[in-house]
Amino acid sequence: MPAEFIRILIGLVAVAISVGLIGLVMVWVERKVAGHIQRRPGPYEVGPSGLLQPLADALKLVGKQLFMPDKADPILFWLAPVLSFLPVLLLFLPLPLGDGLYALDVNLGLLLILAFSGLAVLSLLLGGWASNNKYGLLGAARAVAQSVAYEIPLLLSVLAVSFVAGSLNLAEVVKGQGTWPWNWNIMTQPLAFLIYMVSALGETNRAPFDLPEAESELTAGFHTEYSGMGFGLFFLAEYANMVVVCAVATALFLGGWNGPVLPGPVWFVLKVSLLMLLMVFFRWTYPRVRFDQLLNINWKWLMPLAVLNLLATSFFVKLAQFTEVRW
C-alpha cells in the first residue's frame, strides 16, 4: 500500500476525530462567551464552569427523533446534511499545522479547498428543496444567494496573496513569511485580510450574516424540517468550516506556524483559536443585518475593494519582477 495513501487515510481519521472534539469545545466556548457578553446564567449551571453543557446538547440531539415531512424526497432530504459534512473532512487535508505536518502535500491545495467548499452550497439547496416546505425553500434560496455572493470577494482576496507568494500551496505561502508579525502577509495585504474575514463570516453563515438560519425571520431557514442529528450535521459542518476558514487565514495572512519561542504547531493552533474566538465575539455582539444590507455589503463594498486590491497587487508584483530583471 503506497505511503501517501496511508498518510491520507490516517489524516482523514484524525480529522474526523478532531471535528467531533472541535464541535464539543466550540459549543462550550459559544455558551461561555454568550453568558459573559449577554449575561446568560445557563452556561454556568450545567456542570463545573458549564463543562457538561456540550455533552447535554449532544445527548439532546442524538435523542431526538429523526423526522421527515410527508411528500419530501427521502434520498435528497437525508443526503443534504451528509453532503454538508463529508466534504469538510477533505478540506483539512492540505492545511499545514507545521513544517511538513500535513496530510496531503499538493501544489494546488488552496484551489482544492476552494473547490470542495463550494459543495456546501449544493447541500443548502438540497436541504431546503427536498423538504417540501415553502419556508425551507425560501431559506435555501437566500442561503445560496449569500454563499455564492460572498465566495467571489473571498476568492479575490486569496488570489492577491497567491500572486505575492507565487504559489497555491499553503505550505509554500507560509514558508514565504517570517517569524515576527511584521514579516507576515497581513502587513502587506491588510485590505485583503479584512475582505477575507468579512467574506468568511458570510460564507460560514455566522452572525451578523446568519440570515440563512435566522429563527425569527425565516423559521430556521433551509433546515426548518430537520431534527436530531440531521440538524446536528449541519451544525457540526458550520463549526468545521469555521476552523477551515480560520486555518486558511492563518496560513495566508498570519504566518501559519511561524512564531518565536513556541513550536510551530502550537503557534498555528493559537492563531486559529484567536480568529475563531473573534468570530464568536462577533456573533454575540453585533445585531443581525437585513438581507438587502447583507448583499449590498458584498456587491457595493467588498467586490469593488477586492478587485481594486487584486489589480494593485498584480501591478506591484509585475513591477517588482520587471525591476529585478532589469537590475
Tens place of pLDDT per residue across the chain (327 aa): 577 778 778 878 888 888 888 888 888 888 888 888 888 777 777 788 788 888 888 888 888 888 888 888 889 999 999 888 888 888 888 899 888 888 888 888 888 898 888 888 888 889 989 998 888 888 888 888 888 899 999 999 999 999 999 888 999 999 999 899 999 999 999 999 999 999 999 888 887 888 766 655 556 678 888 888 888 888 888 889 999 999 999 999 999 999 988 898 999 999 999 999 999 999 888 888 888 888 999 999 999 999 999 999 999 998 888 887 555
Which pLDDT score, from 0 to 100, does residue 279 have? 93
Which pLDDT score, from 0 to 100, does residue 161 have? 94
Helix ranges (DSSP H) in 166-189: 170-175, 185-188
149 residue type, one letter: A
Q: Which residue has the cell 445585531?
A: 287
**Residues 255/221, Cβ–Cβ less than 8 Å:** no
Cα dihedral angle (134, 213, 118, 150), rounded to 10 degrees? 110
Which pLDDT score, from 0 to 100, does residue 214 have? 61
Measured distance CA(135)–CA(127) in Å, rounded: 11
Q: Is 67 exposed, middle or buried (0-12, 13-18, 19+ CB in 10 A)?
A: exposed
Measured distance CA(113)–CA(90) in Å, rounded: 8
Spans of all domains in the chain: 2-326
Report residue 138 CA to chain centroid gap: 23
**Which residues partner with 101 through β-bridges?**
98
**Residues 174/256, Cβ–Cβ less than 8 Å:** yes
**1: CB partners within 8 A, 6+ apart:** none
Which pLDDT score, from 0 to 100, does residue 23 have? 84
Measured distance CA(125)–CA(252) in Å, rounded: 30
Which pLDDT score, from 0 to 100, does residue 225 have? 86
Which pLDDT score, from 0 to 100, does residue 64 have? 86
**Residues 159/113, Cβ–Cβ less than 8 Å:** no
**Which residues partner with 98 through β-bridges?**
101
**Residues 202/165, Cβ–Cβ less than 8 Å:** no
Whole-Å CA distances, 235 to 23, 78, 214: 9, 15, 14
Cell numbers at residue 166, please? 507565487
φ/ψ (deg, to 5) at 268: -60, -45
Cell numbers at residue 65, please? 427523533
Q: How many CB atoms lie within 10 A of CB 248?
A: 26
